[in-house]
Amino acid sequence: MSPKHKQPLTNMSNKNCYYRCYVTKNNKTVEWGYGLPWNQVRKEVDQHYKDGADAVELEMITEKEFNDRLPKS
C-alpha cells in the first residue's frame, strides 16, 4: 500500500475510555469503574495482576453509564 493510501494513525491513548472492571482474586469478585485514557486503564489492569488477581475482565461502557454510577451529592 502506498503512503498515499494508508489510513491516518489515531492516538486513542489520550481520550478517556469508560470501563466496568471485574477483578477476581481468591474466588471473590470486586467491581471497579474506570474513566481514563486507555494507557492508564492498561496500567490499572497490570497492577491488579501484580496485586495477585486471578482474572481481570473489562466491559466497555458509555460515558453516561459511567457517570450514572458515580455517587450523587
Specify whether the CB–CB gap between 35 and 18 falls below 8 A: yes
3-state secondary structure of 69: coil
More confident residue, 70 or 66: 66
What is the rounded average pLDDT of the residues 30-39? 96
Mean pLDDT in residue range 40-63: 97
Task: At 64, list the grid cell.
Answer: 453516561
Q: How confident is the model at residue 4 (pLDDT cuts 50, 70, 90)?
A: low
Degrees to nearest 5, angle at CA 47 with 45 and 49: 75
What pLDDT score does 68 carry? Answer: 93
Ranking 11-15, 20-24, 26-30, 53-57 by mean pLDDT, the lowest is 11-15
CA atoms within 13 A on the CB side of 34: 23
